[in-house]
Amino acid sequence: MVFLCSAAAVTSFGQGTTASLLPPNIEIVKLKWERQVRLPRNFDPTVIPANGTFSDPSSRSSSNPAGSGNSDPIITFPRIPSRLPVLYVYSLRIKNAGPKAIEGIAWDYLFIDPNLNVELGRHQFLSYTAVPSNKSVKLQGQLRSPPTRVVRTSDSGRNTEPKFTERGVIECVLYADDTVWKNPRAREGLCEFLKSERDIVKRKHGAVKP
């Protein structure tokens, strides 16, 4: 997948996390989100003619005289759609300082109004990746949803960009020994769903093995 641009990136280092709600021996190291505009799959900007120029098919006569000597192929870029898809990529880097390896994590990326302490946006993800003891990994999820859908009022001043407090929340941890840790505030049934989806992922990966 080719990325056209990346913008509006925001980074936060462990910002707004509550130690009492974190799993034992797991540390949130970094939060980040970014807006990405992606090119179509069939668009390849590396296709360049050897002579360094492009031929315009619209200027080519349909009755090109034989023997003109112009044997250069016509090379054009694939047509880019008028509206490119926009995705928002949310990432959370954690460190497993505990003795047990991790297989899966349910985590949320929150945006908080720092003045009113009101939740403006919450994005929920499941990540399945091996996190050995004393190792760090980056969890990542992508959505079409922006961080928040804030409606600015007339007294918002001259600030054009809303200010957020970002918070990473770990809701459930699935360890390699099949035990789980659950956030006391986690949604009912989330850890069971995390475990059942892990089993589905394992079956799918096993099905493609020779």
Q: What is the pLDDT of residue 109?
A: 97
Q: 203: exposed, middle or buried (C-beta count within 10 Å: 0-12, 13-18, 19+)? A: exposed
Of residues 158 and 119, more confidently modeled: 119
Range 47-72 average pLDDT: 50
Give Cα 44 distance to the centre of its chain. Answer: 23
User: Which 3-state string (H, E, C) describes 95-157?
Assistant: EECCCCCEEEEEEEEEEEECCCCEEEEEEEEEEEEEECCCEEEEEEEEECCCCCCCCCCHHHC
Partnered with residue 88 across adjacent β-strands are: 35, 143
Q: Is beta strand 180-182 parallel, antiparallel or unpaired with respect to 165-175? A: antiparallel
- pLDDT per residue as tens digits for the range 10-47: 444 344 444 445 677 899 999 999 999 876 666 655 55
Among residues of the chain, what percentage have pLDDT more than 70? 60
Q: Cα dist. 43→1, 60, 82, 208 in Å?
A: 10, 23, 14, 29
Evaluate if residue 157 carries a pLDDT over 70: no
Name the residue among 179, 180, 162, 157 with its Cα closest to residue 170.
Answer: 180
Q: What is the pLDDT of residue 45?
A: 57
Amino acid in position 126: L
Range 86-96 average pLDDT: 95
Q: What is the pLDDT of residue 80?
A: 54
Structure tokens at 43: 């668009």
The region of weakest confidence among 54-58, 98-102, 201-205 is 54-58
pTM for the whole thing?
Answer: 0.67
Amino acid in position 175: Y
Of residues 81 and 87, more confidently modeled: 87
- pLDDT per residue as tens digits for the range 179-207: 999 999 999 999 999 999 998 887 777 65
Name the residue among 90, 126, 87 with its Cα closest to residue 111.
Answer: 90
Provide the 3-class DSSP secondary structure of residue 190. Answer: helix
Partnered with residue 111 across adjacent β-strands are: 121, 166
